[in-house]
């Protein structure tokens, strides 16, 4: 049994596509962006990736049919742009699996002559987000200024603790292979599936790619969430009035 198995679904000719990784993670920001792009662009599935490092689980679909936990790569081609979009239900469940799968994704990227990768994630700050922000990281310092010009924020302290999972390793192992890669992270509470945050990332990503995407459906989901957030905020406030939280003065960076 192989650690990673790649199944060919459809052959496609591409010159040098851009790869976008939208696997699940904090706030499901990556997954929301990846799946929204696929649906709006009508991208076609070309590859399925299976691994015993995924959770030992199947997904039951709405019609009662099932599918293995797997990752998938979709292709989109227009006159202006070529894309490979990586999505899935789960990331690896084992430490080594994250490395093995990332290596496999980069093998695929290189076989399609990918020169640039965007990985999408969420950056959880542990509290409700007032103003949507997108923070970034890049595997070549020259990419930082390029990203700043699109409104991506880079700060010394964010993301503290680094970037976990495929969204991070694609940059790290990509760097060792000489492939440019940028991680775009929507700032999010970390408690909720966050379509608002996904939308803020998608706005910047489409600007970078020069793509036009209808944001209507995502906007809709974002509004639903804002109603919920408003309610949570009320509850928080109510609670804050009852029992004021303890605010330590000592810089928490020192506390491990």
The footprint of a copy of itself (CB under 8 A) covers 1, 27-28, 50, 52-53, 55-60, 62-69, 92-96, 98-100, 102-103, 136-141, 144, 147, 154, 156, 158-159, 162-166, 168-169, 171-173, 175-176, 183, 191-193, 224-225, 228, 231-232, 249-251, 254-256
Q: Maximum CA pair distance of the chain?
A: 62
The residue (of 169 and 202) whose beta carbon lies closer to a copy of itself is 169
Quote the least distance from Cβ 120 to a copy of itself, whole Å. Answer: 15
Q: Is 151 exposed, middle or buried (0-12, 13-18, 19+ CB in 10 A)?
A: middle
Structure tokens that stand for 141 in this block: 């310092």
Q: What whole-number distance in Å separates Cα of residue 179 and Cα of residue 72?
A: 21
Closest approach of a copy of itself to the CB of residue 62, in Å: 4
Residue 122 to residue 147: CA distance in whole angstroms: 17
Q: Which residues contact 80 (CB under 8 A, 6 or more apart)?
A: 210
CB of 69 or CB of 213, closer to a copy of itself? 69
In the 8-state DSSP scheme, what is residue 89? S
Rg (CA), the chain: 19
Least distance to a copy of itself, CB of residue 168, Å: 4
220 or 224: whose CB is closer to a copy of itself? 224
Nearer to a copy of itself among residue 108 and residue 137 (C-beta)? 137
Look at residues 175, 187, 198 and name the one whose alpha carbon lies nearest to residue 24: 198
Minimal distance, residue 79 CB to a copy of itself, in Å: 33
If the CB atoms of residues 41 and 182 are measured against a copy of itself, the closer one turns out to be 182
CA angle 86, 88, 93 (to 5 degrees): 115
Shortest CB 77 distance to a copy of itself, Å? 28
- The residue among 126 and 251 lying less far from a copy of itself, judged by its C-beta, is 251
Nearest approach in angstroms of CB 76 to a copy of itself is 26
The length of the chain, given as a count of residues: 256
């Amino acid at each position: 049994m192989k650690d990673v198995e790649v199944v060919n679904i459809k052959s496609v000719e591409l010159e040098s596509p851009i790869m976008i990784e939208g696997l699940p993670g904090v706030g499901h920001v990556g997954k929301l962006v990846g799946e929204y792009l696929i649906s709006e662009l009508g991208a076609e599935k070309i590859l399925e990736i299976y691994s015993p490092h995924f959770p030992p689980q199947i997904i039951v679909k709405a019609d009662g049919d099932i599918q293995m936990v797997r990752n998938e790569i979709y292709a989109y081609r227009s006159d202006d742009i070529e894309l490979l979009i990586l999505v899935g239900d789960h990331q690896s469940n084992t430490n080594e699996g994250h490395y093995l799968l990332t290596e496999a994704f980069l093998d695929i990227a290189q076989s399609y002559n990918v020169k640039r990768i965007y990985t999408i994630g969420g950056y959880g700050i542990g509290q409700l987000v007032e103003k949507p922000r997108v923070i970034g990281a890049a595997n070549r310092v020259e990419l930082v200024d390029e990203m700043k010009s699109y409104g991506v924020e880079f700060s010394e302290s964010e993301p503290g603790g680094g970037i976990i999972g495929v969204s991070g390793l694609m940059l790290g192992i990509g760097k060792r292979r000489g492939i440019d890669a940028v991680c775009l992270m929507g700032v999010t509470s970390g408690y909720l599936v966050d379509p608002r945050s996904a939308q803020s990332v998608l706005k910047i990503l489409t600007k970078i790619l020069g793509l036009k995407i209808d944001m209507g459906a995502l906007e809709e989901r974002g509004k639903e969430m804002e109603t919920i957030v408003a309610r949570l905020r009320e509850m928080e406030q109510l609670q804050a009035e009852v029992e004021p939280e303890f605010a330590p003065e000592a810089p928490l960076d020192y506390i491990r």
